[in-house]
Structure 1
Amino acid sequence: MSTPRTEREDLKGTTYELFILAISILSIVNLALEMVVAYRSQSWWLILYIDTALTIIFVADFIYRFTSAPSKRKYFFRGGGVFDLLGCLPGLRIFRLFRVVRAIRIIRRLGGARMLRELRGQFASGTLYAVVFIGITVLEFVGLAELYFEGDTGNITTGGDALWWGYVTATTVGYGDYYPETRGGRIVGVFMLTVGVA
């Protein structure tokens, strides 16, 4: 089955589209998490920090798609560019759902066999995208777990502390300025050390 010309023009690479799909889904999960956690709590701030990083990725994606589009007008008005731009704005993150829909549509049109062939051919870029996505996801959820276990009484009390601790632990630098004090926090720490070494 051949891919229609407009779909081929939209496709920036199978691994790239899968990366944007995964980042978009994480962004939607963050939007839901923000509604669950207490407003302006340390968990809320941590989610906001991660969402700021995702917003930077979405802005870069919009610029990339816009500048590489054969017809900028067609991309912007008929190719989802307007939704990509709106989804970059912090107050309009719900528009990121359109990114998910578009990415799924493009990937489904490729078909499973062709997608697997392309993934094999894009191994290096796929590995990079996977590491970035897994890194962001692990930092966020390990940070949230640390804040949950450590609370206000532990050594890690802010969203920034949790991200910093997660990053230096994953990179195996481990300055020792922040460390978990509770049993649950230490279990999360063991997981993070294992991820960092792997």
Structure 2
Amino acid sequence: MARGHKLGAFDIGMMVLSLVAVINICVLVLMDLPKDVHSYLVFMDTLICMLFLLNFTYNLLVAKNRTTYFKEHWIDFVASIPMIEPFRFARFLQVLRVIRLLKQTRHLALPSLKDRIQTTLATMMVTLVLLIGAAGLSIYLIEHDLPGANITTAEDAIWWSLVTISTVGYGDYYPVSTAGRIVSVLLIISGVSLFGVISGYIASFFITPAEKDQLAVQNRRIHEIHDQVENLQSQISDIQRMLMDMHQQNTAQKSDPPPKDKP
């Protein structure tokens, strides 16, 4: 982030995803995982990297000075490159940088969250990634070795998670255990809630212009009433001055001595 850059909701969202990515990397490096679990975590890491690249590209395109922005944020670009092990550890620096910015711009972080558009999109993006990742991994760990299970690979779990959260429900993959069904219910409820927010957010685009038109009409009426009040005040002031002049004239006439009669 450039100096003086206002910390936005997307920046905070990227920090949350960076923390998730760091935890993901630690698990991949430090633990001896089954092949399918390893593949699943690599897929989630790649998905997060794509979001990092999109965010970096957007910020670079809208930056006033792209060269300066790239010099100050090259670590973000390096940390966003997927599938290369050494580059993944750059995300530790990315997280530390954002935490330092949060401390320095603490007074700007909360006002930035009042931006309804950015906050809504950032929240949905982070929530969607976390739900897909957590639910898919959970259903794989629960189901893959059960008798009669059809979710037996990481690819099956990812596909099931995407289909379930989108409430499409093809039915080609489904849980056979009670624990798996509980995970499914939670994911379905989360998906319905999430896409309900998205629907309301899209609907707001159609409602907002009408609200703006109504507000413009109200503002015009307020200005018209304000002008009328100013005209009335001006007329009242003129009448007051006329009355004062008449009063002064009458007072002067009464104070003059009457003329004396000549002998």
Which category of TM-score, normalised to the shorter sequence, fits these structures?
Answer: 0.7 to 0.9
Distance 1:175 1:129 in 2: 28
Match of 1:89 among 77, 81, 102: 81
User: Is the 1:27–1:96 Cα contact (8 Å) retained in structure 2?
Assistant: yes
Distance 1:94 1:180 in 2: 35
Correspondence list, 1:1-198, <5 A: 6-9=2-5, 11=6, 13-35=7-29, 36=31, 38=33, 41-77=35-71, 79-81=72-74, 83-90=75-82, 91=84, 92-112=87-107, 114-120=108-114, 122-153=115-146, 154-198=149-193
Change in 2 beyond 3 A, CA 1:106/1:179? same
Structure 1: which 5+ runs fail to align?
none
Note the alpha carbon deviations across 1:12-71, whole angstroms, 9 max, x for none: x510110111111111111122232515x2221111111111111222233234344444
Structure 2: which 5+ runs fail to align?
194-263
Change in 2 beyond 3 A, CA 1:27/1:146? same
Return the index of the structure with the highest Cα Rg.
2
Q: What's the TM-score once normalised by structure 1's chain length?
A: 0.84
Give the paired residue count: 187
User: Is the 1:87–1:95 Cα contact (8 Å) retained in structure 2?
Assistant: yes
Q: Which moved more, 1:156-165 or 1:141-150?
A: 156-165
Note the alpha carbon deviations across 1:78-117, whole angstroms, 9 max, x for none: x241x222212332111012221222222222224x3222
Distance 1:6 1:151 in 2: 47
Q: Which moved more, 1:58-67 or 1:176-185?
A: 58-67
User: Is the 2:144–2:152 Cα contact (8 Å) retained in structure 1?
Assistant: yes
Counterpart amino acid of 2:45?
Answer: D
Q: What's the TM-score once normalised by structure 2's chain length?
A: 0.65
Q: What is the CA RMSD across the aligned residues, in angstroms? A: 2.1
Counterpart amino acid of 1:88?
Answer: S
User: Is the 2:2–2:69 Cα contact (8 Å) retained in structure 1?
Assistant: no
